[in-house]
Amino acid sequence: MCGIVGLHLRDPEWYPRLGRLLAAMLGQVAERGPDSAGVAVYGDRRRCPEGYAAVSVLNAPPGLADAVSGIGRYSDQYHSQVLITEAGATTVVAAPMTPAELVDAVRAAAPEALVVGSGSELTVYKGIGVPGRLAGVYDLVNAQGWQGLGHTRMATESAITPAGCHPFSVGPDQCLVHNGSFANHATIRRELIAEGAVFDSENDSEVGARFVASRLAAGEDLDKALRGLCERFDGFYTLLVTSADGFAVVRDAIACKPAIIAETDAWVAMASEFRALAELPGIDSARIYEPEPERVYAWRR
């Protein structure tokens, strides 16, 4: 079942409206996934200021800001510059470091915390419960930025926990949301583990996210990485995958999981149902279509 929504803004004048539009879209797919809701926002400078990186974590201990700013060589340069935002089960840590440095600092300061997103553009929020309530917890309506996605989950492959929620963000500024199930995820999980991947959940969607991340790390673009996924993964799926400069949609060969795309000069939007797109300004003049099976649809910032 599950619900997917995504919005990629082409016109900077729309950036202040991203969160409000995305929240409205998410509300229209709440019935598809009442177990949990996750959101990723690109370019929200309230929580990831310019020149900062952000890391989203679950199970954050009290005093995380002081712990991060006091780690080793970071202590003098970054003392009192760490920004903490609590949003339900998710805590967003931002600091004027590179994403890799901040991930290392968070893991050193709080080994028990689980990193669920990182980047210089990206903030990720994950939690269990009713999607409408979680959108309020995340303060989604006030988010600004140039791209965002959301997911409402009806769990089938793994437990209902914040770690098992979508989106899965396992590479810098990368996210994947998924409606469907991968039939051969266990086999591909073993292959990725043999290559050095470490998994955070039993969710089959995380396997897809780590497969794509490995391809992007090897230098492929979103289009090529997703074509590779179609070749290797069996099952039923609609995927929305985002990166620091990209937004891409793909469906399996049978295309039994719903998806619809709408485009205008100002934005590109994708959702599991048309009603999630129906209230977008300019929808009356948008180009609206259903993505073809195993064809990758990709846009760049």
Residue type at position 232: R
The closest of 61, 62, 58 to 162, measured between CA atoms, is: 58
> What positions carry a catalytic annotation?
2
The count of C-alpha atoms lying within 13 angstroms of the C-alpha of 189, restricted to the half-sphere facing its C-beta, is: 15
Dihedral angle computed from the Cα positions of residues 145, 146, 152 and 156, in that order, rounded to the nearest 10 degrees: -120
Helices (H), 110-154: 131-137
Residue type at position 164: G
CA distance linking residue 123 with residue 109, whole number of Å: 20
Instruction: Provide CB contacts within 8 A for 146, sequence distance 6+.
Output: 8, 9, 12, 15, 18, 42, 43, 301
Residue 80 and residue 69 in contact, taking contact as beta carbons nearer than 8 Å? yes
Residue 246 has φ and ψ, to the nearest 5°, of -140, 165
Residue type at position 129: G
CA distance linking residue 54 with residue 103, whole number of Å: 9
CA distance linking residue 181 with residue 6, whole number of Å: 20
Instruction: Provide CB contacts within 8 A for 280, sequence distance 6+.
Output: 7, 21, 25, 262, 267, 269, 286
Helix, coil or strand: residue 198: coil
